[in-house]
Structure 1
Amino acid sequence: MLIGEYRHTLDSKGRIIIPAKFRGELGEHFVMTKGLDGCLFVYPLSEWQSIEDKLRKLPMNKKDARTFERFFFSGAVECEMDNQGRVVIPQNLREYAGITNEVVIIGISTRVEIWSQDKWENYNNESDYTYEDIAERLEDIDL
């Protein structure tokens, strides 16, 4: 299970260290793409395949479906960790996520999100709702 929050620094070659607790679940090869809310999504290959299968079923005659597929897949790259657990974040993805130095890496059950530290702090500080407000709105899912 991918859970937790970790802080790391981007090195001069555009690499970050993947937290040791995430490495086994992600495997040596995984997929990184543009995420939502200005972060990057990182998926183990098995989870990526599941998402790809779902997106393949979207109706091609719907503009939103085509646009989402283009956005999601065009930003995707298969990544490989080196022996020290580092991975290169491609320049286009660093620009999309505003990653220049400090990053926050969080586990979200079946995926990892990579945030610029500034965006992560802004996201947490500027939310219109508290944790409790959100939990109350999600009462239908029986948490």
Structure 2
Amino acid sequence: MLFRGRSHRSLDPKGRLMLTPEIRDILLSRSQEGRLVLTTYDRCVVGYPLPDWEEFEQKFQKLKTPSLKVRNFRRLVIGGAEEMALDKQGRIRISADHMAYAGLDKDVVIIGQGSKFEIWDKARFEALMSEDSFDDVADELADSGIDFPI
């Protein structure tokens, strides 16, 4: 099961977010008690089922003498990781640090991204989507062996 689709939600005053039933079902099927990791990347908050996150961390540990750029990336992503579980209502709590990094206030958009999902500030996401024409994406996908017929 993969995360896909887009949904609009609101954070409550305590920073809690009600995930969609589809996302909750995937988390519950992929990890004990719906355990997940939230981290920061690309100016949004990114969520992974705990087993997928642990696999990612193990791959990172295999790097021999990474560059300063990779070490800084590790500081952002692994250093920003927070493990949690869904509460009884199917919510997660987004920390103040994560909210500040992603500019989250009240209205958010949850974007499925295959093995992970992203949580974006609604205005930031709409601005991102309106500024990019995606004209050159088909070529990049084709170069990677992905045919995307339109």
- Please name the residue that 1:138 is paired with: 141
Matched, 1:73 2:78: yes
- Contact between 1:31 and 1:76, CA under 8 Å: does it hold in 2? yes
Q: Name the CA distance, whole Å, in 2 between partners of 1:17 and 1:61.
A: 38
- Contact between 1:60 and 1:66, CA under 8 Å: does it hold in 2? no
- Please name the residue that 1:123 is paired with: 128
- Please name the residue that 2:35 is paired with: 29
- Contact between 1:59 and 1:65, CA under 8 Å: does it hold in 2? no
Q: TM-score by structure 1 length?
A: 0.91
Deviations 1:26-73 (A, max 9, x none): 23110000022x111100012101211221122335212211111111
Offset of residue 111 of structure 1: 0.1
Offset of residue 84 of structure 1: 1.2
List, as ranges, runs of 4+ consecutive aligned residues in structure 1 with deviation greater than 3 Å: none
Q: Name stretches of at least 5 consecutive residues in structure 2 with no aligned partner.
A: 29-33
Offset of residue 9 of structure 1: 0.4
- Paired residues in the alignment total 140
- Please name the residue that 1:87 is paired with: 92
Between Structure 1 and Structure 2, which shows a larger proportion of strand residues?
1
Q: Name the CA distance, whole Å, in 1 between partners of 2:101 and 2:63.
A: 25
- Please name the residue that 1:49 is paired with: 54
What value does the CA root-mean-square deviation take over the aligned residues? 1.3
Partner amino acid, structure 1, of 2:80: G
Q: Name stretches of at least 5 consecutive residues in structure 1 with no aligned partner.
A: none
